[in-house]
Amino acid sequence: MPELPEVETIKGGLLIKAKGKKIKDVRIRVPKVFIGDRKKIIDAKIKDVRRTGKILQVILDNGYSIIIHLKMTGQLVFEERGEKSVGGHPQKIYEQPLPHKHTHIIYTFTDDSHLYFNDLRKFGWNKVIKTSKVDKTLGPDKFGPEPGSKGFSSEYLKKIFSRSKKTIKQVLMDQNKISGIGNIYSSESLFYARIKPTKSANKLSDKEIEKLKKALEKVIKLGLKHGGSSENTYVNIEGKKGKYMDIAVVYQRAGEKCRKCGGKIRSQKIGGRTAFWCPACQH
């Protein structure tokens, strides 16, 4: 799924395109991805869009909110009235005009613009809840601080790392401890910090923790700057892909040469996810 930079990019797009619009209709084509009462959001206006970790919150002006998780393959694409997404000969399943086979929810605004929720694997969801419950649902007991935020201090990292028995990569991806990091940015930040992903979190030195903290903040910024990563299906609100993968140092580059030392990048499963790293540079 989109990780923090991707979701943040979508948030920005929604603020520009959809803020202030009034929902005229919601069409639900796959019930399992829409949780809650669709009637509660009809005739409501989008007041604000926020983000907690990888979860989007669309705040409406009637006391309700839509919270959205894109999981691995979810997309939110906005189209103005009468605008036609690029079609042509459909090659890839996601490059067809909207709505298509994997469009599960269609939000229509009063000016006849649309917001489409597409999700090939149907793991993602859109959920209607009371805005007063948003903070409780997405509270700090469920989501740790994110890189760059106030709570993301060296002391905090030291605490969670020393208590964990898992590998550093697994801890980085644990949303309860740190929000917004997934497979891509955990792999990339560990490379910049020169730490191998298989290392036990509780074996990191203070110096390594300091380096990792900086690396995480750096890759998140890089991701944002490049509009996210599009290895697979991620697109922004306009249906365009992100460019982070062009500059990725290790992610999805097994067998290729390390940009620093020229050695071979290797990959291995850690806790069910594929990790990528340079055995020569990362210890």
What amino acid positions are annotated as catalytic residues?
Answer: 2-3, 54, 273
Query: Minimal CA–CA distance to 170: which of 161, 253, 219?
Result: 161
CB atoms within 10 A of CB 146: 22
Tell me how far CA of residue 242 lies from CA of 231, 234, 239, 268, 270, in angstroms: 9, 7, 10, 25, 26
- Rank residues 154 and 176 by Cβ distance to DNA and give the closer one: 176
Which residue in the block uniquely carries the two structure tokens 């649309």? 114
Q: Which of 182, 197, 227, 239 binds DNA (CB under 7 A)?
A: 182
DSSP SS3 for 252: coil
Could you give the CA distance from residue 221 to residue 19 in angstroms, rounded to a whole number? Answer: 25
Q: Is 54 in the site for DNA (CB under 7 A)?
A: yes
Strands in 112-257 per DSSP E:
114-119, 125-130
Q: Which of 39, 165, 207, 283 binds DNA (CB under 7 A)?
A: 165
Q: Which of 164, 199, 214, 243 binds DNA (CB under 7 A)?
A: 164
Site mask for DNA (CB under 7 A), range 246-275, x = bound: -----------------------x-xxxx-
- Rank residues 31 and 82 by Cβ distance to DNA and give the closer one: 31
Q: Which stretch binds DNA (CB under 7 A): 12-20, 81-89, 116-124, 189-197?
A: 116-124
Cβ neighbours for 17, distance < 8 A, ≥ 6 positions apart: 78, 113, 237
Q: Which of 158, 198, 231, 264 binds DNA (CB under 7 A)?
A: 231
Q: Which of 81, 101, 221, 225 binds DNA (CB under 7 A)?
A: 101
Q: Which of 69, 169, 196, 253 binds DNA (CB under 7 A)?
A: 69
**Contact status, residue 212 vs residue 195, Cβ threshold 8 Å:** yes
DSSP state of 33: G
- Rank residues 173 and 190 by Cβ distance to DNA and give the closer one: 173
What does 170-190 look like in DSSP terms, one character per residue? HHHT-TTTSSS--HHHHHHHH
**Contact status, residue 8 vs residue 227, Cβ threshold 8 Å:** no
- Rank residues 266 and 273 by Cβ distance to DNA and give the closer one: 273
Residue 278 Cα to chain centre, angstroms: 25
- Count of residues in contact with DNA, rule CB under 7 A: 39
- Rank residues 3 and 79 by Cβ distance to DNA and give the closer one: 3
Q: Which of 216, 233, 239, 278 binds DNA (CB under 7 A)?
A: 233
Residues forming contacts to DNA in the complex (CB under 7 A) are 1-3, 6, 32, 53-54, 69, 71-72, 92-93, 101-102, 120-123, 164-166, 173, 175, 182-184, 228-234, 242, 269, 271-274
